[in-house]
Amino acid sequence: MALPTISGNSSGRGICQGRFTISTVLANEDDTHNIYCQTKPTDCQTGPTYCQTEPSHCQTEPTYCQAEPSYSQTELTYCQTEPSSCQTGPTYCQTEPSHCQTEPTYCQAEPSYSQTELTYCQTEPSSCQTEPTYDSLTQSNIFHLRTFGYNTIDAVPSYEHYANTRVPGEEERGRPTLADLRCYIMDMGQHPPPLYENRPDGELGKEERAIQLTGSKLAEEPVRFGWIKGVMIRCMLNIWGVILYLRLSWITAQAGIALTWLIIIMSVIVTSITGLSISAISTNGKVKSGGTYFLISRSLGPELGGSIGLIFAFANAVAVSMHTVGFAETVSDLLVDYNATMVDPTNDIRIIGVITVTILLGISLAGMEWEAKAQVGFFFIIMISLANYIVGTIIPASKEKQAKGFFNYRADIFAQNLLPNWRGDDASFFSMFSIFFPSATGILAGANISGDLKDPAISIPKGTLSAIFWTAFSYLVISATIGSCVIRDATGSLNDTIPIGSMDCEGLACGFGWNFTECTQAGTCKYGLSNYYQTMRLVSGFAPLITAGIFGATLSSALACLVSAPKVFQCLCKDNLYPGIGFFGKGYGKNSEPIYSYLLTYATAVGFILIAELNVIAPIISNFFLCSYALINFSCFHASAINSPGWRPSFRYYNKWASLFCAVISVVIMFLLTWWAALIAIGIVGFLLAYALYKKPAANWGSSIQAGSYNMALSYCVGLNEVDDHIKNYRPQCLVLTGPPNFRPALVDFVGTVTKNHSLMVCGNVIIAVGLGRMKPNILVMGFKRNWQSDHPQNVEHYIGVIYDSFDLNYGVCIMRMKQGLNISRMMRADVDSSIVGFAQQASTIFQLEQGRKTIDIYWLFDDGGLTLLIPYLLTRKKRWRNCKVRVFVGGQMNRMDEERKAMITLLRKFRLGFHEVHVLPDINQKPRPEHLKRFEDLIAHYRLNDGFKDETIVNELRKDCPWKISDEEIKSNKTKSLRQVRLNEILLDYSRDAALIVVTMPVARKDKCPSTLYLAWLETLSQDLRPPVLLIRGNQQNVLTFYCQ
C-alpha cells in the first residue's frame, strides 16, 4: 500500500531578521517564497509585515497607533433613554470623544444593573464607541468582553465550541482561531459579517428572514422520550413478540424444558453482552438518529457501517412481516373456530396481514407521538395477559381444558417435558434456536430510534439492560410453567375419558383419566404442546385476554420494526454512502419522518407477508440480526483494544474480551442455524464492503479502524528498528524539497511515480528531522536552481549547503532540471500572459502523460552504489513508462570497448534489471569545443576572485566575506572536472536529444576545495540546452543493488 504524501513546513537558513521568520529560499531553483516577519515593537504597533524578496517591496497591513486612539476606551458608560425606563443590560453610548461620559449612570430600578445582553445606542451620527465592537475573523461577531476582568477576544470554555449544531435563529459563537489570537487586526469594517451575524434585510436569505420574522419564538420542539417509554417498554414489547405467545410452548415440547432454558440462556448471553457493548458505544459521545447503523458506522467506519446498515434495515423490514404474520395467524385460527374463513387459512393470513400492516403504516405516519402512545397501550395489554396466564395455571382445569392436555401443575408432567422429543425431519436444537432467536433481537428497538431520545447515552444502557432482564425472566418462567402443566399430545375430545388405572392406555394422560393413545400413535392429535400453537390461550384464566396479548405483542413488535427500519435507512441515505438512495432520506415534519423509507419498508414487509409461514420467515432474519450483533460486539472490542484516547465511554460495565467472544459466537451460531443463509448474509456484507472500499466514501467519523491503522503502523515502524538493513530490502525513501507541493507538481508527480506502492515520499521546504525509526528519508530530491546567476550569492551558498548537508546525513541526492522549470507558483497568479500559462501547464503535467516508445538514457559514469540504475528501473515498472527503452551509457577506453561493454552487460544481467542496451563512450575525456569552453569561462567570470595580483590580506578578507568567490588556485585544481562537465554536455546533446528522460551520475565536489558557485556552474553546464528532463543522481556510495540471494 502506498504511503501518503506528507507535507511539512520548516524554517531554514532565513535572512529576514525578526521575531518570527519563515524562509524557503533554499528549497528549489528560482524559488523565493514570501518571508513573513514582524517588525520590532515601537511606539506605534504595526500589524504583521509581509516581505517579499521578489519584487523588493514590503506590504504592510494597516497601522494602528495607540497614541491617537480612534476609540474612546474609558469606563463603561450607561445611558437612559427615558427617565422612567430601566435598561436590562448595559447600554454603550456612542458620542463625540469630548462628550463621552466617564462616570457610569445606573438604572433607577435597582442599584445593581443587569448585564444579560449588550445593547448599543447612538446619540449623534458622528460618534465614538466607548466599548467598541470588533468584527472577528472567526464565526463569533463580538469580543468576549470582560473575560476575567479585561477586554480580550480569547474565549472561556463553552459547550457551543464543541457542538456541531446550533439553535435556529441564534448566532453561532465560535472559538477564535490561533491566527485571531496572534495576528488580530482591529480594523472596523474591513471584514465581511461573520456567519449568522445580523445583517440588513436586503442581505438576509430567505431562511434567515423567516427566522427573524418569528422573533424570539423557538422552533417547535420534536417529541423526545426517556429511558422507560423510549427504550425499555419498546424493547420489551419487541422481545415479547409472536414467539412468546405462539411458539414458546411448541419449542418447549420439541426441545424439552431443559434445552429450552439453554436456548433462552444462550440467547440472553448473546443479547446481554451485545447490550453491554451497545451501552459502551452509545455512551462514547453524542448519539444521533440511525440506531445500530449509527453505532457501527461511527465505530468501524462507513465501509462496514454502510453494509450492515442496509442489512439491518432489511432485517427489520422482514421482521415486520414476521410479527404481522403471527397476528394474522391468530386471527385466522379464530376465524376457523367460528367457521368464518374468508378463503382458506393460508390466504386468510395473507389478506389479514396486508390489511394489518397497512393500518400500522398509517399509525407510523401519524408521527412518533402517536406511535409511542400505541406502544404504551400494547404494553399494559401484554402485562395483563401475562398475569392472566399465571393465574390460569393455578385455577383447576375444566374438563374441556383437560381434554386438550392441560392438567395444572404436575411433577410427572414436568419430568416428562424436561427432556426433548424431536418431531419432524428438520427438528433439532439449532432449528429451534433459529426460530426462537428472532424474539431476542428486540434489544435494538430502543437504540434504533436514538434520534428521538432525550438522552441516548443514558436511555439506551438503562432501558436495554432492564428490558433484557425482565423479558429473559418472563421467558424462563413461562417455559417452565407451561411445561409443568400441559402434556405434549391430546385430542380435545371429551369422549376420551377412561377410568384411572386402565391397562389398555399408554401415555402420561392415562394416570389423569384420559386416553390419547390412538392419536398419539397415529400422529393426528390436534392439541397439546407439540400440536397446538395457542396453548397459552388454553392455559389462561380468561382466553380473550391472551388473544389480546397476542394482538398487543405482535402488533407492537411489528410497529416497532416498522419504525426502526425507516429510521435506520434514513440515516444511511443521508450519509450518501451508496448511489440512488438519497431520495429515501428526506424527512418531513417536526420529527423529520422519512415518508419514502416508510413506504419502502411497507412494500418489503408485504412481499414477505405473502409467504404466510412464520417458521419460514423467522430463520431468514436470524442470520441478519446475528450478523449485526457480531459487528456491534466487534466494534466494542476493537475500540477498546486499540487504546485510542477518544474511546472514553461513560458506561464502564463491559469487557472487551466478552465482546470479542460474543462476536465469534454470533458468527458460529449463524452457520449452525442455517449455513446457506449465513453465506448469503456474509456475501451481501462482503459485496457492499467491497463497493464502499472501491468508492472510498468521503465520510470521516474518526472510526476505530483509523485508530487501529495508526497503532498498526506505529508498531510496525517500531518493529523495524529491531531488523537490520539489507540491500535486498532497500527502498528509496524521498524527502522532496517542493515548498508547497502544488508549486512544483511535476517534481511531485515524478517522485510519486517512483515511490508509489514502494516506499515513502515526504514533501517539505528544507532538510528536517522527519520519519520514525527506519521509516525516514534516505534520498533528497530537489529542483535545479535556474536563477542562481541572478540571485544573491548567499542564497546560492545556502542551496549548495543543502546538498552538502544531505551528503553529511548519508543521503543520496537527486536534482531534477526541466527546460520550462519546475516552479509554477508565479504562473498561478491571475496577471500572467497565456504563453507563460502554457509553459506552466506543460511543466505540471509532463510526468502524468504516457511516455510512448521514447528512451530513458542512463549515464552511469561513476559507481554510486547503483542508485543511478535503481531509480530508472522503478520508473519502468509503471504503466506510463513501460514502453520506454532503457539505454545505459558508460565511459571506456577506445581499445577496450568490446570488453567493457560485455562486462557491463554481464553486470546488468546479474542485477536482473532488464537493461540490455549498453553503449561505451570512448571520447568522454576529449577536449570540448572552444565555444563551449568559452561559455563556461564566461559563466564563472563574475564569481572569480582574480587573486593572482592582489595582496594576500585583501584576498583573505574577500574570502571571508564572500566564500562563494572562486580563486585562481581552485580553478586550476578543478580544471579537469570542469572540462569533463563541458564535454559531457556535448555528449548528451549528441546522443539524448530526443529521450524521454536523461539520468546522469551527478559530480561530487570536495569540501573546502570547490566554492558553491563553481559547483553550481558544473551542474549548469552539464544539463544546459537539453530539451528532455534531466535527473542528476548521486547515491551515498553504498550498495542499493545486489545479485546475491542472501
Q: Is the pLDDT of residue 692 over 60?
A: yes
Q: 885-919, pLDDT tens digit by residue?
A: 999 999 888 888 888 899 999 999 999 888 889 99
For residue 311, pLDDT over 80 is answered with yes
3-state secondary structure of 815: strand
CA angle 974, 786, 997 (to 5 degrees): 85
For 181-189, the CB contacts below 8 A with 24+ separation are: 181/153, 181/154, 183/47, 183/48, 184/137, 184/153, 185/47, 185/61, 185/62, 185/64, 186/64, 186/132, 186/134, 187/62, 187/64, 187/135, 188/132, 188/134, 188/135, 189/135
758 sits in the region (left: phi over 0; alpha: psi -120 to 50; else beta) called alpha
The per-residue pLDDT for 3 is 39
pLDDT given at position 37? 34
Give the CA dihedral 602, 608, 611, 612, nearest 10 degrees: -50
- Cβ atoms of 483 and 260 within 8 Å: the answer is yes
pLDDT at 128: 38
> Alpha helices of 31-89 — where are they, by DSSP H?
none
pLDDT at 177 over 80: no
pLDDT of 26 reads: 37
CA 445, 446, 452, 457 dihedral sign is negative
If you average pLDDT over residues 783-808, what whole number do you get?
Answer: 90
Q: How many CB atoms lie within 10 A of CB 88?
A: 13
Tell me what pLDDT residue 372 has: 75
Do 26 and 12 meet the contact criterion of CB atoms below 8 Å apart? yes
In this prediction, residue 844 has a pLDDT band, given cuts at 50, 70 and 90, of low
Higher pLDDT, 557 or 346: 346
- Looking up cell 449623534 gives 124
Q: Kindly provide the b/e burial profile for residues 885-906, where b requires at least 16 CB atoms within 10 angstroms of the residue's own CB.
A: ebbbbbbbeeeeeeebbeebee
The residue with greater pLDDT, 672 or 415, is 415
Does the pLDDT at position 653 exceed 70? yes
| For range 955-984, the mean pLDDT | 86
CB 843 within 8 A of CB 721: no
Average pLDDT, the chain: 76
564 close to 624: Cβ distance less than 8 angstroms: no
Task: Indicate the length of the chain as a whole number.
Answer: 1046
Tell me the one-letter amino acid at 140: S
Helices (H), 395-455: 399-403, 411-418, 429-436
pLDDT value, residue 515: 84
* Helix-, strand-, coil-residue percentages of the chain, each rounded to 5: 50, 10, 40
Range with lowest mean pLDDT among 348-352, 486-490, 520-524, 763-767? 763-767
Q: How confident is the model at residue 165 (pLDDT cuts 50, 70, 90)?
A: low
* 150-152 vs 734-737, strand pairing mode: unpaired
Return the higher-pLDDT residue of 473 and 57.
473
Q: With bands split at pLDDT 50, 70 and 90, how would you rate the model's confidence at 164?
A: low
Of residues 287 and 172, the one with the higher pLDDT is: 287
Alpha helices per DSSP H over 222-247: 227, 233-239, 242-246
Report the distance separating Cα 586 and Cα 592, nearest Å: 8
Q: Is the pLDDT at 166 greater than 70, yes or no?
A: no
Helix (H) or strand (E) holding 539: helix 535-539
Nearest to 762 by CA among 6, 26, 28: 6
pLDDT at 842: 54
Radius of gyration of the chain from its Cα atoms, rounded to whole angstroms: 42
Start-to-end CA span in the chain (Å): 25
Does the pLDDT value for residue 868 go beyond 90? yes
From 68, 65, 71, 75, select the one nearest 45 (Cα to Cα). Answer: 65
**Helix, strand or coil for residue 391?**
helix
What is residue 210's predicted lDDT score, i.e. its pLDDT? 45
Q: Edge-to-edge strand order for the sheet containing 57-60? A: 35-37, 49-52, 57-60
Residue predicted with more confidence, 921 or 205 = 921
112 vs 109: CA distance, rounded Å: 9
DSSP-assigned beta bridge partners for residue 963: none
Would you state the torsion angle of the CA atoms of residues 415, 479, 496, 511, taken in this order, to the nearest 10 degrees?
Answer: 20
- Pair type for strands 150-152 and 49-52: unpaired
**Residues 493, 783: Cα–Cα separation, whole Å:** 100
DSSP type of residue 915? -
Residue 589 has pLDDT above 80, yes or no: no
Range with the poorest average pLDDT among 290-304, 357-371, 412-426, 934-948:
290-304
Instruction: Find which of 58-72, 281-295, 510-524, 534-548 is predicted with most confidence, using mean pLDDT.
Output: 534-548
| pLDDT at 211 exceeding the cut of 60 | no
Q: Among candidates 420, 386, 412, 390, which has minimal Cα distance to 263?
A: 420
Averaged over 99-108, what is the pLDDT?
38
pTM of the model: 0.64
Q: Inform me whether the pLDDT recorded for 238 exceeds 90.
A: no
Identify the top-confidence range among 171-185, 608-622, 842-856, 1027-1041: 1027-1041
Q: Write the secondary structure of 468-525 as one string of H (helix), E (strand) and C (coil).
A: HHHHHHHHHHHHHHHHHHECCCECCCHHHECCCCCCCCCCHHHHHCECCHHHHHHCCC
pLDDT at 123: 37
Stronger pLDDT, 178 or 866, i.e. the higher one: 866
Ordered DSSP codes for 783-811? E--TTTTTS-HHHHHHHHHHHHHHHHTT-
pLDDT for 741 equals 84
409 has pLDDT over 50: yes
Q: Do residues 647 and 358 lie in contact, with contact meaning Cβ atoms separated by under 8 Å? A: no
DSSP-derived pairing of the beta strands 812-817 and 779-783 = parallel
Grid coordinates belonging to 429: 436444537
Cα–Cα distance measured from residue 980 to residue 581, given in angstroms and rounded to the nearest whole number: 68
CA–CA separation, 746 and 28 (whole Å): 13
Residue type, 843: A
Q: How far apart are CA 915 and CA 904, in angstroms?
A: 10
Q: What is the pLDDT of residues 44-88, one digit of tens each?
A: 333 333 333 343 333 433 333 333 333 333 333 333 334 333 333
pLDDT surpasses 60 at 504: yes
What pLDDT sits at residue 613? 85
- For residue 92, report the phi and psi dihedrals to the nearest 5 degrees: -100, 120
Mean pLDDT of 110-132: 37
CB atoms within 10 A of CB 103: 8
Question: Who wins on pLDDT, 179 or 322?
Answer: 322
Residue 993 scores a pLDDT above 80:
yes
- Residue 838 confidence (pLDDT): 52
pLDDT tens column, 281-301: 878 877 776 777 787 787 778
Question: What is the grid cell recorded at 45?
Answer: 504597533
Residue 58: strand pairing partners: 51
Instruction: Please give the pLDDT value at position 870.
Output: 93
**What residues contact residue 515 under an 8 Å CB cut-off, 6+ apart?**
496, 497, 498, 502, 505, 507, 509
